[in-house]
Amino acid sequence: MSGSVEVRQFLLRYEGEGQGAGLGGVPAQRAGQADAPRVSDDQVRRARLAVARGARGIEDCAQLLDMLGLKPDDDGNAPVQR
């Protein structure tokens, strides 16, 4: 993948470098808002990494993160976690 270093640097702007790389399964689909469990920080981190692996470059990664609600707002919270 071309541009993987740039994508990694882009993600590190939003995440701490000291976080471990945990592996796990894909979270289950939410049934409704009332009984929906919150999306964890680790799930968001893993989703961002998955997007970065498939992105074609920095702009592509930024656009995908924004469309999926994974790009942090000014407070550092991802919209997918609201």
Q: Which of 69, 66, 67 is nearest to 80 (CA)?
A: 69
Position 55 in a domain: yes
Position 20 in a domain: no
Reported confidence tier of residue 23, pLDDT bands at 50, 70, 90: very low
Position 34 in a domain: no
Position 28 in a domain: no
22 contact partners, CB below 8 Å, separation of at least 6: 42, 46
CA–CA separation, 37 vs 63, rounded Å? Answer: 26
Tell me which residue range forms the domain holding 78: 1-13+40-82
Position 27 in a domain: no
Position 45 in a domain: yes
Tokens of 44: 């968001």
Residue pLDDT, tens place only, 70-80:
998 888 888 88
Position 49 in a domain: yes
59 vs 22, 40, 42, 52, 76, CA distance in Å?
Answer: 26, 25, 23, 11, 19
Reported confidence tier of residue 19, pLDDT bands at 50, 70, 90: very low
CA–CA separation, 70 vs 61, rounded Å? Answer: 10
Q: What's the whole-number mean pLDDT along residues 23-49?
A: 71
On average, the pLDDT of the chain sits at 76
Position 76 in a domain: yes
Q: How many domains does the chain have?
A: 1
